[in-house]
A and B are shown apart, each in its own frame.
Chain A
Amino acid sequence: MAYSDKVVDHYNNPRNVGTLDKSSEEVGTGLVGAPECGDVMRLQIRVNPETQVIEDAKFKTFGCGSAIASSSLATEWVKGKTVSEALEIKNTDIVKELALPPVKIHCSVLAEDAIRAAIGDWKKKNGVAETATVAAAQ
């Protein structure tokens, strides 16, 4: 399978790999996918409690190159956005940016789910009314 240059770039140089302290009040963690499906993404955000701006984002992904690229891109995109701005990121934006083929669209869906799950977890911790219905990881 041929990969787009952007997927290859994210695979070779993944952005924002790592782990944030999930016990911190400022950190939201989204863990989506399942090992038996061949994709697990963990996306974490650290939100400034005053401004609701996502100041840091980290990810780790078990999955194919497109899954790695989708989650790497997601961390880039959420950084600097407010929580409500980040919720506007759509999987179709990721598909477009990475030129994902139809068979890899599920990778972008998972990345969108990961963003929503991380934000949902942060909202739950901080008593912000839940708007997204995606369940957050524990």
Chain B
Amino acid sequence: MSNEMSNNGMVITQSATPLPEGVHLPIYMDNHATTPMDPRVLEAMLPYFGAKFGNAASRNHAFGWEAEQAVETAREQIAKLIGATAKEIIFTSGATESNNLAIKGIAEMYRERGNHIITQVTEHKAVLDTCKKLEKQGYRVTYLPVKADGLIDLDELRNAMVTEGPEKTILVSIMYANNEIGVVQPVAEIGKLCHEKGVLFHTDAVQAVGKIPVNVQTDNIDVLSLSGHKVYGPKGVGALYVRRRNPRVQISEQINGGGHERGMRSGTLNVPGIVGLGAACEIARNEMDAEAKRETELRDYLKHKLESALDYVHVNGNMEHHLPGNLNMSFVYVEGESLLMGINDVAVSSGSACTSATLEPSYVLKALGLGDDVAHSSIRFGLGRFNTKAEVDYVADKIIDVVKKLRELSPLYEMVKEGIDLSTVEWAAH
């Protein structure tokens, strides 16, 4: 890489110094988007792409039995990770399908009981857009706001619940942990409240399962969505936990066909994917505690290093109730996409408008009440199983370097340093 100086001394090119040990470029630090597959998971899957190709629904020969056995083992592995029983696990194509199946399936099944659903504004689009579709079909949906730290207010949830009449609340859907800001909702309390009021509780636990302890019993969860590729497993496979006792939850199927998965989700099972998801859950169950501790340390180290070196940094989301590997930070007065451009050998995400097709900044960050300018300046770091301290150092040094250089370029930073209150400036909006 070149290291030349420009006419005004700015250098935003890569240095020619050799990389520290343990750093291989590009660095992947976007583990909320997807995770690399654990080699042990791949190894478990491979036979099912080859000799073990049977259809798990073939009941009358050894090929089918072999596949069925593998699927049932995976069901056990997944159930064990979340404190469920194997019969409560329904395989799907991923969490988007799981969320669709849970919300539409419950809304349809319990339509006679009521038509009200409660969710919150920082959910994934797979939940929000599903709810919007149901609104068009005559359901009423409450989108709870979140507090400035990203957590919902349990009193607001309680107040939103309708316990009588035709508009009775039938379902609450609140995510376990947020994919952008990493905050962990008070799920056990939400579930308890739902059960007191006789309302079903679904949670999109995609970011939480395998990262932090999730237990459908102690968390009072009735229906839970999870995904393979967020837990170092394969893409294209997910699961839905559907409670069978206290209460027994019924779900109206959304895909019709051969009656697979106890009629709730027809379609030939993706045996290699399911085996991979099972293996990934087993590894997570065994290693989660140590991994969470390690990632939390790395995350705090990254946060401390950035906060020590830079002024005007803002941590987004409650850090006490937080995923181990997540850090969402705004580097105020620097636009997120320009920051990403300067660290193009590091894979992270930004809540900036310029990184999205809509040119709207992250709706999750906006829901925290952050100004759009702070949202535009945000970077999401997603640390995972395979990130090293050397990588964290490399990323932190690079961010610090690029933020400083971009602030030299930033009229806002200059104005703030001169003592100008940006809120008093009359901006020529475009």
Contacts and interface: CB of A to CB of B under 8 A. Distances in A.
Interface of A: 1, 3, 8, 11-19, 31-42, 60-65, 67-68, 103, 106, 109-110, 113, 117, 134-135, 137-138
Given A32-B428, A61-B410, A109-B430, A13 B7 contact: yes
Nearest to A15: B7
Which residue among B4, B8, B341, B352 has the maximum number of chain A CB atoms within 10 Å of its CB?
A: B341
Contact of A103 (B6, B357, B408): B357
Contacts of A34: 427-430
A64 B354 contact: yes
Interface of B is mostly: loop
B46 interface: no
A65 B341 CA distance: 7
Contacts of B361: 38
Interface of A is mostly: mixed
Nearest to A7: B341
B12 interface: yes
B217 interface: no
Nearest to A113: B430
Nearest to A16: B8
Contact of B337 (A18, A64, A113): A64
Interface string B398-430: 000000000011111110000000100111111
A38 B413 CA distance: 14
B60 to A, nearest CB: 53
Interface in B1-53: 4, 6-8, 10-13
A133 to B, nearest CB: 12
Contacts of B342: 11
A67 B414 CA distance: 18
A62 B373 CA distance: 10
Given A12-B13, A62-B335, A41 B6 contact: no
Interface residues of B, number: 40
A65 B337 CA distance: 7
Given A42-B411, A113-B430, A35 B8 contact: no
Given A64-B338, A103-B357, A113 B411 contact: no
B359 interface: yes
A45 B416 CA distance: 22
A100 B108 CA distance: 47
A62 B372 contact: no
A14 B338 contact: no
B333 A62 contact: yes
A61 B11 CA distance: 16
A106 B335 CA distance: 15
Contacts of A3: 341
B202 interface: no
B209 interface: no
Given A60-B411, A62-B410, A11 B338 contact: yes
A8 B338 CA distance: 11
Interface in B334-377: 334-335, 337-338, 341-342, 352-355, 357, 359, 361, 371-373, 376
Contacts of B426: 138
A37 to B, nearest CB: 6
Contacts of B341: 3, 8, 11, 64-65
A37 B408 CA distance: 20
Contact of B411 (A1, A62, A65, A117): A62
A33 B430 CA distance: 6
A117 B353 CA distance: 25
Given A14-B10, A19-B414, A63 B335 contact: yes
A56 to B, nearest CB: 12
Contacts of A109: 430
Given A17-B8, A36-B373, A60 B414 contact: yes
A35 B430 contact: no
Interface in B300-357: 333-335, 337-338, 341-342, 352-355, 357
A34 B411 CA distance: 11
A40 B412 contact: yes
A13 B429 contact: no
22 contacts: A12-B13, A15-B7, A33-B427, A34-B427, A35-B372, A35-B376, A36-B371, A36-B372, A36-B373, A37-B353, A37-B430, A38-B352, A38-B361, A39-B335, A40-B427, A60-B410, A60-B411, A61-B410, A63-B354, A64-B335, A64-B354, A68-B338
Contacts of B337: 64-65
A62 B339 CA distance: 11
A13 B341 CA distance: 13
A31 B428 contact: yes
B430 A18 contact: no
